[in-house]
Every structure is written in C-alpha cells, then in structure tokens.
Amino acid sequence: MLSKVETIQKVLKKKKLDLALITSTPNIRYILNKYDMQYGGIICIPKDQQPFMISSAFESADVRDYGIDVFSVSNKVKADIKAKNKLEALKKILKEKKISTKKIGLELGFLNFLTYDKIRKKIRSSYNDISEELLNIRAIKSKQEISILKKGARITVRGMKAVRESLTPNMTEKEIAGIFEAEVRKHADWYSFDTIVASGKNSSKPHHQITERKILAKDLIVIDCGIIYKNMHTDMTRTFCLKPGEKEKILHKIVLEAQKVAINKLKTGIKASIIDKAARDYMKKLNHNQYFTHGLGHGVGMDIHEKPSLDPDSKDILKENMIFTIEPGAYIPEFGGVRIEDMVLLTKKGKQILTKFTRRL
Ligand SMILES: [Mn+2]
C-alpha cells in the first residue's frame, strides 16, 4: 500500500475517525506520489481497509496505474459505477463495502464551502477537519520530493543568474521579470507566483506588483521568483544594485548577516520561532527590526506557502527532511528594501542550501 495512506490511517485512528475523504488536487497528487498529474477526483481512505479513488470515466484511464483501486463514474458512457456524479458513486461503494461513515475526516482547510455542503448533504456524518494533520505530514519531504525540489531550485537559480548577468540601467521591471521567466521556462512547468521585480522606492514594498519603471544604477532591485516543477514550488529572492551607495550597502549587509545568523542556528528539534527570533534579534541590535515586517520563512512543496511556518507565533518544530525558506528583509519607506531568500533542506547532519547562488548586491 502507499506509505502515505498508512500515515493517514494512523491519524484516523488517533482522531477516532472511520474514514478520510481527500478531495484537493495537491493532496491527491501527494498521496499518490504523482507529482505531474493534472487531475484529481476523490480518494477515500477507510481506517482499516484498502483506499480507493473515484474518478470521471474520461479521466480514469490516467489513474489506473497509480497503485490504488479506481472506480470510474458515469451515467452516460461505460464506467465501473453508474451514477450521476462522484459523490453518488462514493455513497454506493461505501454501502457495498460496508464501511462505517459515522465520523469522517475532511480537508476543510482546502475545500470550498459549496463542495463541503454537497458532501454533507449526500452523506450524513459527523465531519472533522484533518487539513492541519495533512499539512504536518506534507511538511516532511520524501526522497522523491526532495529530488524534485532540488531540481526545481537548480532551474530557479539559472533564471536568477540570467537576470544578474543581463541587468543594465534603463531596463524595466517587466523586462527583468521576462528574462527570468524565459530562462526557467525551458524546464519549469509554470511559475510559483507572479515574479516580483521591485526597483528603487518600489523595493520598500515586499509584495510589489511589477511596473514599466526603468531601473537606475543606484536602485536597489529586489527579485523574488519561483517556479513550479512537477507541481512542486520553489521560492528565491536576491537584491541587486548596479552602483550601490553607502546606505544600500549597509542595508544589504544587515539583511545578509541576519540570514546567516538564522541559517547557522538551524538544527532538527528546534522551534521555528527561535530561528525567526535569532534573525529579528540580530536586526534589533542594529536598530533595523522595525523594518522587518514579515515572517522569516515558510515551507514549500505542493503549495508555495506550507508548513513549517517560521514566524514569531509559530508552534512548529523543525524536523529532518523539511524544506523551507529563510528570507529576512528590511524595507525603509520612501527609500527601498532588501530581501534575501534561500530554500534550505534540513538534514540529520545539518542543512543544505538548495538555491545556491551569490548573495552579493
Ligand atoms: Mn518566500
């Protein structure tokens, strides 16, 4: 059986649930270890029986070899189950297999309200949220996931390198984003988010929307970018400046040192909030903590932001095989900002930076 199914069954037993229904595409891909699949369906994981998947007739051929029983559904064309929709088919199968449905686990954090409403009208049960548990499981990356994210990080670095090498005054923010995007597109499936290029005063806004502003030699230029490779997300930020003045150099140095302090402190078993605090305390000593307005980092994977969360209020503990970002920043209104972000893999022996590339201005 799929190893992730067993982990979820342990959660079901702990929470005294009869079964889990997995409906979100990221979690379906995750459970099936099929990172390049487009389509989802419903996966039903009973607490002590084989899991199965319900899929539309036209898509079921794609999932036949996914290591799980698949039932296709249609009331128009030939299918395993004759039913109007997947929920109706699910109800039939649950009855046939005599699976208890008194307490069901659902990913309430991923479901939209209308789908939730449909499910609970179709199958009467007491519904319990298991999205937190699934996110905790997802935070620890498998060997396959680590290798996909490493490859993704290498592609991202190539894009960042192309940007650094072509940066010249008068290029617009959009042109710079285009250079990154064209370079990575040779291998990336898509982008993790809209590429951020924030120049000059714009760099004082952490999530600036790109414009046609032309860059000047003295501008700080924050480039925050990521790609999707086999449905896994990467995330990386560098700040460049063609002709930095004293103020730009100092700001950059403070952020870079804060990142180093945080990375040096990383080890398994440590609270994520302590790592955040280390970077924040370093900046406080230099009177810059008031400019560090966001969390220090976040996990990456099937989603661009997932567990663990490295911020002052986080309850997460850092564990072996987690992959997350370390991204301190300082944003001075009406002047500009600096952010430096790397993806880090935590290992038993230490840590590995996956987005290895110069952090110089
Ligand atoms: Mn990030």
Is residue 153 located within the same domain as residue 255?
Answer: yes
Tokens encoding 58? 């036209």
* Domain end among 85, 120, 138: 138
Instruction: Give the end of a domain, one of 94, 119, 138.
Output: 138
User: Does some domain include residue 359?
Assistant: no
Q: What is the sign, positive or negative, of the torsion defined by CA atoms of 211, 216, 220, 226?
A: positive
The Å distance, Cα 325 to ligand 1 centre, comes to 6
Distance from Cα 112 to the centre of ligand 1, integer Å = 25
Whole-number Å distance, alpha carbon 234 to ligand 1 midpoint, is: 8
Instruction: State whether 126 and 167 are in the same domain.
Output: no
Q: Which two tokens stand for residue 165?
A: 């090498």
Closest CA to 197 of 339, 326, 361: 339
pLDDT-derived band at 62, boundaries 50, 70, 90: low
In a domain, 59, yes or no: yes
Contact 254, 279 (CB under 8 A): no
* Per-residue pLDDT band at 3 (split at 50, 70, 90): confident
Q: How confident is the model at residue 64 (pLDDT cuts 50, 70, 90)?
A: low
First to last CA, the chain: 50
Residues 150 and 87 in one domain: no
Give a yes or no: residue 360 inside a domain.
no
Span 305-356, pLDDT tens digits = 999 999 999 999 999 999 999 999 999 999 999 999 999 999 998 999 999 9
158 domain residue, yes or no: yes
Give the pLDDT of residue 317. Answer: 98
Residue with structure tokens 């790609």? 227
Distance CA 133, CA 135 (A): 5
- Give how far Cα 187 sits from Cα of 102, 146, 206, 305, 341, Å: 46, 17, 27, 22, 22
Residue-wise DSSP of 285-348: HTT-GGG--S-SEEE-SSSSSEEEEESTT---B--TTBEEEE--EEEETTTEEEE-BEEEEE-S
CATH number at residue 219: 3.90.230.10
Q: Among residues 88, 108, 138, which one ends one of the domains?
A: 138
Identify the weakest region by mean pLDDT among 29-43, 92-106, 221-235: 29-43
C-beta of residue 273 within 8 angstroms of C-beta of residue 312: yes
CATH number of the domain enclosing 42: 3.40.350.10
Residues 229 and 153 in one domain: yes
How far, in Å, from the CA of 225 to the mean position of ligand 1?
8
Residues 290 and 222 in one domain: yes
From CA 26, how far away is CA 20, in angstroms rounded?
A: 15
Residue bearing tokens 């996914």 = 66
Same domain, 101 and 205: no
Same domain, residue pair 53 and 192: no
Q: What backbone phi and psi angles, to 5 degrees, belong to 238? A: -130, 155
| Total of domains in the chain | 2
In terms of domains, do 121 and 154 share one?
no
Query: How far does residue 255's CA lie from ligand 1's centre (Å)?
Result: 15
Residues 300 and 155 in one domain: yes
| Residue ranges making up the domain that contains 23 | 3-138
**pLDDT tens string 112-138:** 899 999 999 999 999 999 999 999 999
Same-domain pairing of 147 and 129: no
111 and 147 both lie in a single domain:
no
Spatial distance between the Cα atoms of 275 and 231, rounded to a whole number of angstroms: 28
In a domain, 358, yes or no: no
266: confidence class by pLDDT, cuts 50, 70, 90: very high
Mean pLDDT of the chain: 94
Q: Distance from the CA of 2 to the center of ligand 1, in angstroms?
A: 31
What would the two tokens of residue 53 be? 């998947």
The one-letter code for the residue type at 117 is D
In a domain, 361, yes or no: no
The answer on 280 and 264 residing in a single domain is yes
**Residue 193 pLDDT class (50, 70, 90 cuts):** very high
